[in-house]
Amino acid sequence: MSPSEPRSATSATTASPASRRGGTSSPWDSEESREFLQERLRTLFGLVAIMASALFIGSWVIGLLWDPQSLDHGLPIQPWAMFHLGGIAVAATVWLATRRSPLPAEVLRVVEAAGVFFLSMAMIGRAASLPVSLRPDLMAALALFALLLYRAAIVPSEPRRTRLLGIAAVATLPFMTYGIYARAGRTDLPSAWAYTAFAFLFAALAVVLSTTISRVIYGLRQTVKEARRLGPYTLVTKIGEGGMGAVYRAQHALLKRPTAVKILPPERAGEMDLARFEREVQMTSLLTSPHTVSIYDYGRTPDGLFYYAMEFLDGIDLNELVRRDGPMHPGRVVRVLRQVCDALGEAHRAGLIHRDVKPANILLTERGGRSDHAKVVDFGLVKSVSGGAGGKTADDVVLGTPYYMAPETLRAPDKIDARSDLYCLGATAYFLLTGKPVFEGPSADVFASLLRDDPIPPSQRLGRPLPAALEALVLATLAKSPDERPESVEAFEEALAVCDGVPPWTDADAAAWWRSRRPLIQPARAGQATESRTLAVGRESAGPAA
């Protein structure tokens, strides 16, 4: 299906790989669900270990205060203490296993089942070691009741699995109860069968209540998961938000390629905004430059939510790069700008103007084994210079980011052309070379300087020399009059290619930079959280917006 053919989210839904194989897909198939399961198991067993440890210490303290002669003051070698320490060891072991490296979902579920079972055995063994006068059956029943209900509330699980784990955990309780009271042989107590019936009812109640809790929580999680599904795409996490919509990392039901989904927010879903959003998709999908973000698909949900899917860019935008590393190497700036010229040149030849070229809308990634591959994103303000219905979307409104806005955008926003993108690209180059925008301050001051002031030369702003030819070329793109700028991005690219005195930035230099900085850039394909935020389509710059 071509991007120009809207499709309904309902008709786009397809079977999962597991269902195509004739099996049932697991709720923990996705990486996000697996991480969630591991985090919940870590929480469950960590808290159990803490509470069991506190109870163990409390039992010794209370016992010593109540009857100093009843407890051994040396090592805790009494049977009840051994069982209690065994339960602590089980919980601590599972906690340690789930807090380190990621574990497969199948392993996590086995670890969970083993942990719950051995914890229940430790609880029953501890209770069985107590004298009959302390009602060991009641102690065991209460402990198992708390464990099963706590697990059901913490760990989202299929009701059937919760029921089976619960039955396995409480199965020995009636047998333990009968054995204790049958051996006691006390005529002043009810029969062993009476206590056994009580234990059986209590165990059944624990299984029923924990299963009910799981059914409610699991159902709510599935409802949320369904609400986050758009056609064949399931939203995973928000990775950016701009004036024309929010962007989410998403998973396709069948394809494994990383995907980003952009959604028009409901409050912006008016006729004009929806037309502009749809136009962005249609126009961007016509562009085939390797330095333009690729559009995969788009559609509308039955309730009218408009979205489109695009390639997921696991890199860093230039605004964030300069914020972290400072001004860029002049050779690297030239290398990046030439790639951006390729993307803008194709758009301009197709009669499209980006109108929001800025560092935050240029991402560096690694593609095809090469580093520093530039991608131009966020065509949300794209304008067609050929007119037509698509070009009537509030063209007389000032749109863009003040730090990188061309002067004619303020003077005559309906008269802008491809040379306005060239000014934005020059302002971007200025920022990359100096680490600062051409003009700084509140929006009103930036607007005033944009119309009247000449830029300070980049070398003067930086405080050290820059290649003279490159500096002159950048200043030429920042001319107030479009006629005084290079005539096109192609001409600008050609001038960049022959700039004298620019030290080269080689493939080896780029590869070395990425090797040293990759730990600071979130590996988007794995969806891991690190110091750096994942930077993808739709990011807004830190500067003031128009």
Predicted TM-score of the model (pTM) = 0.58
- Dihedral sign for Cα 353, 357, 360, 361, please: positive
pLDDT at position 535 is 32
Nearest-angstrom CA–CA distance, 274 and 277: 5
Nearest-angstrom CA–CA distance, 311 and 297: 10
pLDDT at position 376 is 92
The token pair that represents 335 in the structure block: 């290398």
Specify the 3-state DSSP secondary structure of 39: helix
pLDDT at position 223 is 58
Specify the 3-state DSSP secondary structure of 235: strand
Q: Which of 159, 138, 137, 143 is nearest to 208 (CA)?
A: 159
Q: How many CB atoms lie within 10 A of CB 301?
A: 16
Integer angstrom CA distances of residue 394 from 184, 263, 269: 89, 21, 15
Active site residue 356: yes
pLDDT tens for residues 298-349? 777 766 677 888 888 888 999 999 998 999 999 999 999 999 999 999 999 9
pLDDT at position 3 is 38
Nearest-angstrom CA–CA distance, 517 and 372: 12
Q: E-strand spans in 336-491?
A: 352-353, 362-367, 370-376, 383-384
Catalytic residue among 273, 317, 342, 356: 356
pLDDT at position 399 is 52
pLDDT at position 284 is 76
Tell me how many degrees the CA angle 300-303-309 measures, rounded to the nearest 5: 25
The token pair that represents 525 in the structure block: 């394909």
pLDDT at position 394 is 46
Tally: H helices and E strands in the chain? 19, 12
Nearest-angstrom CA–CA distance, 426 and 431: 9
The token pair that represents 389 in the structure block: 């219905």
Q: What are the φ/ψ torsions at residue 311 (nearest 5 degrees)?
A: -65, 145
The token pair that represents 541 in the structure block: 């710059």
Q: Which of 326, 320, 398, 417 is nearest to 359 (CA)?
A: 320
Flag residues of the chain having pLDDT under 70: 1-30, 32, 63-64, 66-77, 187-188, 221-228, 242-244, 265-273, 277, 280, 302-304, 379-400, 520, 522-546
Contact predicate 503/465, CB 8 Å:
no
Q: Which of 206, 227, 228, 83 is nearest to 153 (CA)?
A: 206
